[in-house]
Amino acid sequence: MLDVRRLRVLREVASHGSFSAAAEALSYTQSAVSQQIAALEREAGSRLVERSARGVRMTDAGRALVCHADAILARLADAEDELQAIAGLRGGRLRLAAFPSACATLMPLAVARFRERHPGVDLSLHPAEPDDGLRMLRTGEADIALSIEATFATRGPSDVHTVTLLDDPMYIMLHRDHPMAGRARLRLTDLAGDSWMIGTTGTCPDVSIFLRACQTAGFEPRIAFNLDDYHAIQGFVAAGMGVSFIPDLALVAVRDDVVVRSLGARPPVRRIVATTLADAFRSPAKQAMLDVLVEVSAEFGTRRTELALAS
């Protein structure tokens, strides 16, 4: 195996034409340069430099190795520059995954702010439901994935580190002609006899949050359909097929033929988190994006509170 440091010494000897000039350029002693060249010749198994009273001359093997040394040292310099750029947030890449309602609310703001601050980082975003986002983390397809937790859930997987972003309150969605549609606030017990549209059990914490809330309210909900898309659920509610929970982040686009009602001051909530692999290296870009996500989520929560107080 050829030593890269000795290749650099060989290149300087070839460039300056003498051991003494190479030693001065490298801030070495002439003896040290001679020793490095002798060691490199042993590694290469060939004479690389011919010495004479008028200086040194590269042998054919020496000239060939200098050509390779130029390419090798140039690639190393490129690698060092790239690492410095990544460390200084002037380069590198960051891959994000987020579930649909986060893609429509938090992520546009976070991505725009990150790109404004760090335009040299190559940023990509992939829509993915929480389970898929965690899979992408574990397979190396994503560096950060937004996910959902139930506030009453036990500690998550040990291989994942989570950063809490915000608590996302749940509302009730009804057909506009529903008997309860005229009320500003509802209790779950007001809808105990209705049919419900909810997600598929096991795919998202939203379902467990809903079922626990109903259990606490003292009734077993009658499930009409299981749908994992809140836009599709809105269609069924608008058709009069029943009522549904809907989280605040999913309220960016509400149909005219449905109404959304509050469940009071302490509604069921789902917790929005940013996840990374627990044992993965947290690059400056990854940490910067986590910081931006926390900022954006705090601002989103503040605006939501202001709107609630105004209403």
Q: What is the CATH number of the domain that holds 135?
A: 3.40.190.290
d(CA 137, CA 220): 36
Grouping H, G, I as helix, E, B as strand and the rest as coil, residue 294 is helix
d(CA 174, CA 245): 9
Q: What is the CATH number of the domain that holds 83?
A: 1.10.10.10
For the entire predicted model, the pTM comes to: 0.71
Domain that holds residue 75: 4-87
User: pLDDT tens digits for the chain (311 residues)?
Assistant: 788 889 888 888 888 888 888 888 888 998 998 898 899 889 889 899 998 877 788 999 999 998 888 888 877 766 776 676 677 777 778 899 999 999 999 999 999 999 999 998 889 999 998 989 998 988 888 989 999 998 887 666 778 999 999 999 999 999 999 999 999 889 999 999 999 998 876 557 888 899 999 999 999 999 998 888 888 999 999 999 999 999 999 888 888 899 999 998 889 999 999 999 887 667 888 899 999 999 999 998 777 655 544 44
Given 35, 64, 87, the domain boundary residue is 87
**CB contact set of 199 (below 8 Å; sequence gap of 6+):** 206, 207, 226, 227, 228
Residue 28 token pair: 């070495």
Q: How many domains does the chain have?
A: 2
Given 87, 104, 132, the domain boundary residue is 87
Whether 287 and 161 map to the same domain: the answer is yes
How many helices (H) and strands (E) the chain has is answered by: 10, 11
Residue 243 token pair: 């009522």
Given 34, 61, 87, the domain boundary residue is 87
Structural contact between residues 206 and 148, judged by C-beta atoms closer than 8 angstroms: yes
